Amino acid sequence: MPRSATGTCNRARVRRPIAHWPRTAGPRGFTLLEVLVVVAIGAIMVGLVVLRMGDWRSDADPERQLQRLAALIEAQCEQAMFQSRPRGIRITEAGYDFWQSASEGWVPLSGDGINRPREWQGGVEATLDVSGHRSRLSDEPDAPQLWCDPLGELSLFMLTLEVAGIRVDLTGNGLGRLDVERRR
């Protein structure tokens, strides 16, 4: 029997086929199929969350346009309180812009940032009732029809956008509360 530094050597040892070798006790990992199934389930879950939470409406949606206008009116009313000067909103057939009261009367605000004029999107038809009276939007007024005073009060109004049988109203009460309501 030959000797080695580590002990005796038995060359007559029986060799086992590879299939019968003992398996290691450590983790083996995942197969490609298992990984692909987990990735597919994750992608489906992410897709459902995005569809559920995402707002896929276009900018031309009348409800979205009025929600944006309501937020801008609230910002103008806050500025009226901070600056102690009335702010106004002029509504036309084409869109709307923002004004401020000055010693010479109502003057349009600069056309940049949050105060820039905006146009209606998607061919909507706008109608405006202020304090129960219909305003003619075809005649572009020289001053705003709606205004916020420095005490936080807002004109009573109802602005309606209508397109393809969908009607959306933005209503403002005297206390500065704005409501958007969609009707069919």
State residue 51's pLDDT score: 74
What is the rounded CA–CA span in Å between residue 60 and residue 40? 34
Q: Is a pLDDT exceeding 70 seen at residue 141?
A: yes
> Over the stretch 82-123, which tens digit does the pLDDT of each residue have?
999 999 999 999 899 999 999 999 999 887 888 899 998 888
23 pLDDT above the threshold of 80? no
Tens digits of residue pLDDT in 41-71: 999 988 888 777 655 556 678 888 889 999 9
Q: Write the DSSP symbol of residue 124.
A: -
Average pLDDT on 3-9 reads 62
Alpha-carbon span 87 to 77, nearest angstrom: 7
104 vs 152, which has greater pLDDT? 104
Domains of the chain: 62-183 (3.55.40.10)
Determine the pLDDT at residue 124. Answer: 87
Percent with pLDDT over 70 in the chain:
80
Give the pLDDT confidence score for residue 90 in this predicted structure.
93
4 against 115, higher pLDDT: 115
Of residues 63, 73, 64, the one with CA closest to residue 155? 73
Report the C-alpha gap between 79 and 93 in whole angstroms: 25
Report the pLDDT averaged over residues 123-139: 88
For residue 161, how many other CB atoms are within 10 A of its CB? 23
The pLDDT of residue 106 is 92
Computed over every residue of the chain, the mean pLDDT equals 83
Taking the C-alpha atoms of 6, 12, 17 and 18 in order, what is their torsion angle to the nearest 10 degrees? 10
13 vs 168, more confident: 168
Would the pLDDT of 5 be above 80? no
> 145 falls in which pLDDT band (50, 70, 90)?
very high
Assess whether pLDDT exceeds 70 at residue 33: yes
